[in-house]
Amino acid sequence: MKSLKAQNHPLSDSRYELDLLESPETGIPFSEKLAESGLFPLKPTQIEILQLNLGKMCNQVCKHCHVDAGPDRKEIMNKETMMKCLEVLRQQDINTIDLTGGAPEMNPEFRWLVEEIRKIKPQAKIIVRCNLTIILANPKFYDLPEFFKKHKIEVVSSLPYFTAMKTDAQRGDGVFEKSIKVLKMLNEVGYGLENSGLTLNLVYNPAGAFLPGDQEGLEVEFKKRLGNPYGIFFNSLFTITNLPISRFLEYLIRSGNYESYMEKLIEAYNPAAAANVMCRNTVSVGWDGYLYDCDFNQMLELKVACNNSQHIKDWKQEELTNRKIVINQHCYGCTAGAGSSCGGATA
């Protein structure tokens, strides 16, 4: 098996990643599995969610990060691109806006954007994918729990496990302790508490080359282990499968698990999960305004298959709604077992 280091290809080389995904070792083409399920070509059901990647800058460098985010990344969505996104929201019946990164809060226009979205869509669901530790990274972020509450933001936060050892191994030394402190801050303003109307969801990613366990069972265990001794409350736990791209791809190759992991994904293909993949109701907007079927395609630079609507400034609702979704072997990750999406299991 080829090695990223041996071939001297950086993780940012999406063409090299695609070459690996399309190599014979990755097995049955994903398109064939879709065809067997009567789902090829894969097409949207409708566009309900606009996901905005506000940049690749992050205060953490997580081992599984498919964005390859970190403090040294400079890519960031500017205000002009944000205004184009707001224009689309004014014109279209899209009522879920998903803000992600990197750490989306590190974008200097983050608060302005949230306020403008709320003006345009007073009742919309605004999701912020917060890594928790960003709130303690700088005094200017300390009031984020109150800001989230004011604008009724749904907070979705990754917490690899309910122990320090496993969490820190994946996300960095001291991350678990800081995450617990921030979760308590969120609980203090009402997040995760019954009847508060303030939703706090956690995300679980496996630490190795295996699929996540049962989402419902893991949620029960997380609530038990975070409730005692930490006194932490949250609403739901989402299980997400690690896709073979970027840092997780490097890990798979370095550890000799690439081929076996692809085999696991293919063997666990679930037609019910495939029918409910997130790309069927979502459009992902890159930090530079280009459009993608999902956040994973964005990292592989696989733009939407719409010749006249590949950038937010050229948004054409009909063309995007009727497009053929761009697929590749990494898509097995979203269709394995109970399925995987930004909202957890899909089947």
Q: How confident is the model at residue 3 (pLDDT cuts 50, 70, 90)?
A: very low
**Tell me: the pLDDT tens digits for 14-34?**
777 888 887 776 789 999 999
Question: Does residue 134 surpass a pLDDT of 60?
Answer: yes
* Average pLDDT over every residue of 109-124: 98
CATH number at 4-335 = 3.20.20
Average pLDDT, the chain: 93
Q: Does the structure show a pLDDT above 50 at 156?
A: yes
Instruction: Output 300-308 pairs: Cβ under 8 A, ≥24 positions apart.
Output: 300/14, 300/17, 300/18, 300/245, 300/328, 300/330, 301/14, 302/18, 302/326, 302/328
> What's the whole-number mean pLDDT along residues 71-89?
97
Q: What was the pLDDT predicted at 7?
A: 42
pLDDT at 13: 67
CA distances from 103 to 100, 156, 217, 339 (A): 7, 12, 29, 25
pLDDT digits (tens, 9 = 90+) for 239-251: 999 999 999 999 9
The gap between the terminal CA atoms of the chain, to the nearest Å, is 33
Q: What is the mean pLDDT of residues 191-201?
A: 97
pLDDT at residue 20, as a whole number: 81
Q: What number is the average pLDDT over the span 106-118? A: 98
**Residue 6 reports pLDDT greater than 80:** no
C-alpha–C-alpha distance, residues 41 and 54, integer Å: 30
> What integer pLDDT is reported at residue 40 of this predicted model?
97
